[in-house]
Amino acid sequence: MSFITSHQNLAWLFISLVGSHTGVYASSSSLSSIFEAGLPHGSLSFQGHNNTICPTPGYVVNSTKTSLFESRHMMYKYDQVYISPAPETVENPSLGGFTKQSCYPHPELGIENYCVYANPTFNDNRGMVLFIRPSYLKVKLEEFSIFKPDSTLLTATERKNFPYTLQRMPSKGGLGAVANQNLQVGDLVVSDYSLVVVYAHMRKYSDEFWTEVFKFMVDLLPLKGRELFARQHGVGNTEATWIFSAFQRNVFSSPQDDGTTGGFAFVPEPACSLSTTEAEASDSRLKTIHELDDTLTTWEEASLSVSPPTPEMAEHLIDLYKLEKLDILLELPHTIAALAYNSFGFTHEARKHAALAISYGSHTHAANWLDGTTHLDIISQPEKHWSYRIRTLPADLHPRVELKQ
């Protein structure tokens, strides 16, 4: 799985995605189930601390207004793009409004190419661009109702009624989102659709490749979508490097086309930077979260480890999430803790953390979320779960479990 390691380098945002529709939910202070590993859900936001421009008040409440920033003040000249998406033809038919623009060889021989698809009229002409394999696009179009002709999308009125206002916060680099009403855990704060979705892990290709492809994909967006993109935070001396940076700092996790994590989506959301000192402290915590996550979710040769991961490490992981004010993401560390306790045979604690994982996950997942997980199994019969005492049994007695990554 991908995880942010630095505010300066990779400011990933993990947000729950439903059909390329993104929602940010309230947490009490501010990844799907590892049982059957899948897409991380929740809202985990970090920003680079060199931020000098935050979203303008008009970016979400009224997309028809003229931007308060003109492109001459921005690195990306969104209103000076002179390419247009390739139109639909008999040889290149549109699929759900998406038309193929370009294709790239898959890094692995014998696997279907990745292609760029553009839908310039989607979401009131904000548009959407995909980096995806053609066969997988057909699958997603069947799954996602938002691309069907009779679908109902968000309106400008609904965006205007989101429960926050943008206020100037000079100490944080510009503007910040402030709630204008009391919010409970799980309340929807803001919801919108992705501008760009990439169904491939960034490590599949070089940075040079992504720098070129990201620029191409953003240029394919219609004017309204490009303007929304241009308001995000990024650094760089050229349009292409700025866009690459903006993707690193402002994207959300999305599944790859093989069902594993590592893809990402770009959605314009309110964001401002931390101070340098705060960012450095947070970077250190995030690095530890990343290390603990890797350690606690590695099960190969589990009992042969000289120092196997312990439940105490899982408890520390939970504490770090709370220090980072990631309450809405606590499903993940509680799931990891349930497995950690069960792997040593501590079934009472395993049940407790599995139940807590469900309570947090229910806020950010669809109603049928539990149908695809085994949280309930570990609550009802932890001794029969594959993780039970896996870190204490002899290696030849370990259940043969292949975890999805």
Instruction: Supply the pLDDT for residue 105.
Output: 94
Average of per-residue pLDDT values in the chain:
71
Pair (180, 222) in one structural domain: yes
Q: How far is CA 289 from CA 191, 201, 313, 317, 333, in A?
A: 27, 21, 10, 6, 10
Tokens of 249: 């700092």
**Could you tell me if 56 and 143 lie in one domain?**
yes
Q: Are residues 281 and 392 in the same domain?
A: yes
**Residue 374 in 3-state DSSP?**
coil
How many CB atoms neighbour CB 91 within 10 A?
A: 6
Q: What's the number of CA atoms in the CB half-sphere (13 Å) around residue 322?
A: 8
> What is the rounded radius of gyration, in angstroms, for the C-alpha atoms of the chain?
22
Predicted confidence at residue 306, as pLDDT, reads: 65
* Number of domain units in the chain: 2
Is 259 part of a structural domain of the chain?
Answer: yes
Question: 120-138, pLDDT tens digit by residue?
Answer: 988 778 899 999 999 999 9
Q: Is residue 300 part of a domain?
A: yes
Of 266, 284, 313, at which residue does a domain stop? 266
326 and 252 share a domain? no
Q: Which domain holds residue 325?
A: 276-397
Neighbouring-strand partners of residue 255:
261
For residue 2, what are the contacts with CB-CB under 8 A and spacing of at least 6?
A: 12, 201, 202, 253, 261, 262, 264
Model confidence at 184: pLDDT above 80: no
Q: What pLDDT digit, counting tens, does each position of 105-122 carry?
A: 998 889 999 999 999 988
Q: How far is CA 226 from CA 216, 229, 330, in A?
A: 12, 5, 34
Dump pLDDT digits (tens) for 96-105: 889 999 999 9
pLDDT level of residue 139 (50, 70, 90 thresholds): confident
In the predicted structure, residue 210 carries a pLDDT above the cut 90: yes
DSSP assignment of 27-39 equals -S-----STT---
Judge whether 353 lies within some domain.
yes
Tokens of 164: 């926050």
Residues 229 and 352 both lie in one domain: no
pLDDT at 162: 64
Give the pLDDT score at 178.
Answer: 76
Residue 291, helix vs strand vs coil: helix
Most confidently modeled range among 194-198, 240-244, 396-400: 240-244
Predicted pLDDT at 318: 94
Task: Estimate the share of the chain in helix, then strand, then coil, as percent rounded to the nearest 5.
Answer: 40, 15, 45
Q: What is the pLDDT of residue 181?
A: 74
List, for residues 49-84, the tens digit of each pLDDT value: 233 233 332 222 223 333 333 444 578 888 899 889
Residue 4 lies in a domain: no
Q: How far is CA 383 from the centre of its chain?
A: 33
Crossing angle for the helix pair 331-343 and 347-361, to the nearest 10 degrees? 160
**Out of 254-268, 290-304, 350-364, 386-400, least confident range:** 254-268
* Helix residue ranges per DSSP H, 144-230: 156-160, 207-220, 223-230
Looking at the structure, do residues 135 and 20 belong to the same domain, yes or no?
Answer: yes
Separation of alpha carbons 149 and 2, rounded Å: 34
Residue pointed to by tokens 């069947």: 142
CA distance 221 to 218: 5
Query: pLDDT tens, 315-346?
Result: 999 999 988 878 878 999 999 999 999 999 99
Encode burial over 148-173: b for 16+ CB neighbours within 10 A, e otherwise: eeeeeebeeeebeebbbebeeeeebb
Q: CA 14 to CA 7: how far, in whole Å?
A: 14
